[in-house]
């Protein structure tokens, strides 16, 4: 029974990414920890798109384009607030439990 504990699973099952110790869990942690950056970039592009749609719609007297721009900007802000709240909830859980959820050790 003691010999089971001696087996290193990383030696038997290699990482599909070619780097020892770098598996799917590390990849997911990297993506999740960078979610704020990704969400910020999406927010920026959607706010620019929404603002341009509002300006063009108001200038052309097209209420559909103005409404479309307002909806894009509002949806972008709501989505960013959800990501922002989720990030801080994870930070609070990390502090309470003492576990590192978003930190990656490569």
Q: Comparing 96 with 6, which gets the higher pLDDT?
A: 96
pLDDT for res 99: 81
Cα(11)–Cα(52) distance, integer angstroms: 55
Which residue from 54, 88, 83 is spatially nearest to 71, judged by alpha carbons? 54
pLDDT for res 91: 86
pLDDT, tens digit, for every residue of 33-82? Answer: 788 788 889 999 999 999 999 999 999 888 998 999 999 999 999 988 99
Task: Grade residue 85 by pLDDT with cuts at 50, 70 and 90.
Answer: very high
Summarize the confidence of residues 92-98 as an average pLDDT: 90
């Amino acid at each position: 029974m003691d010999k089971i504990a001696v087996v290193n699973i990383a030696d038997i099952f290699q990482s599909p990414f070619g780097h020892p110790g770098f598996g799917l869990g590390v990849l997911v942690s990297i993506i999740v920890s960078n979610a704020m950056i990704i969400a910020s970039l999406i927010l920026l592009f959607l706010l620019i798109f929404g603002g341009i749609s509002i300006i063009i719609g108001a200038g052309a007297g097209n209420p559909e384009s103005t409404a479309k721009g307002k909806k894009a900007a509002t949806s972008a802000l709501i989505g960013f607030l959800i990501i922002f709240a989720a990030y801080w909830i994870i930070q609070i859980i990390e502090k309470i439990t003492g576990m590192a959820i978003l930190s990656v050790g490569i």
